[in-house]
């Protein structure tokens, strides 16, 4: 049974790294003392070691150890043996490219479908969708495919932003870009606002956090889902 936390961001507003998720993560990773971290997205270009240390500093407060997947000789074996997995945010194109290069996209999907507890933030949440095509990131590399894990029945638009009232120009809004996506694709898109996350248990997805999420489906008007409600698609 799938057991996922799919979060829009790692740092909410003026908080510290992952602090808004602390109580959730205590329960989510309660049955493991070590978390396998996938640092491939490299936010701001930091190294895998630097990123892993940042994550380790946080999880040490929860009495958990963290090991980066890049330190294993056999990444596939590390995935299959992990009791808990976290993929952090950064550049989604880079993340997906590295997962395919290291031949661990399919093994990661397999263990998540079989119930390994997983946390994704930002790019690590985009990874959970059917494709990565609703990322906001720059295409700094060219992955071999846009297909991702497909462990949830939609794509994620992390850090979803609403239009700012009385602003004369802010470029294309997120809603505009998602409508453009739906001229060519039928995949539903979930706009996940900052401080919100999806709790996935088996095939049930429930919105968590203080804010609503915005749902986009091809040929329909966008609509809101209230927090603590199940997310369903036709």
Choice among 8, 10, 97, 122 that is catalytic: 122
First to last CA, the chain: 22
Q: Is 28 a catalytic residue?
A: no
Residue with tokens 């009495």: 63
Between CA 131 and CA 153 the distance in angstroms is 10
Q: Do 129 and 148 touch, CB atoms closer than 8 A?
A: yes
Between CA 36 and CA 87 the distance in angstroms is 9
Q: Is 137 a catalytic residue?
A: yes
Choice among 159, 166, 196, 234 that is catalytic: 159
Q: Is 159 a catalytic residue?
A: yes
Choice among 10, 28, 125, 137 that is catalytic: 137
Between CA 86 and CA 75 the distance in angstroms is 14
Catalytic residues: 122, 137, 159
């Amino acid at each position: 049974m799938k057991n996922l936390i799919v979060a829009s961001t790692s740092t909410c507003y003026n908080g510290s790294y992952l602090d808004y998720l602390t109580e959730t993560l205590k329960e989510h990773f309660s049955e493991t003392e070590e978390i396998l971290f996938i640092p491939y997205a490299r936010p701001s270009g930091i190294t895998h070691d630097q990123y892993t240390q940042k994550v380790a500093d946080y999880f040490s407060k929860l009495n958990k150890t963290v090991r980066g997947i890049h330190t294993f000789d056999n990444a596939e074996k590390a995935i299959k043996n992990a009791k808990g997995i976290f993929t952090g945010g950064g550049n989604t194109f880079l993340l997906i490219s590295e997962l395919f290069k290291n031949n661990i996209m399919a093994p990661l999907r397999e263990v998540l479908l079989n119930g390994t507890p997983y946390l994704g933030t930002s790019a690590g949440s985009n990874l959970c969708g059917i494709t990565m095509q609703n990322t906001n990131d720059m295409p700094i590399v060219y992955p071999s495919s846009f297909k991702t894990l497909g462990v949830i029945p939609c794509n994620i638009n992390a850090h979803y932003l609403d239009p700012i009232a009385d602003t004369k120009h802010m470029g294309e809004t997120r809603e505009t870009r998602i409508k453009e996506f739906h001229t060519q694709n039928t995949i539903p898109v979930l706009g996940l606002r900052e401080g919100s996350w999806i709790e996935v248990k088996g095939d049930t997805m429930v919105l968590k956090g203080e804010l609503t999420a915005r749902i986009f489906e091809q040929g329909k008007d966008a609509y809101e889902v209230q927090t603590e409600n199940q997310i369903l698609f036709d």
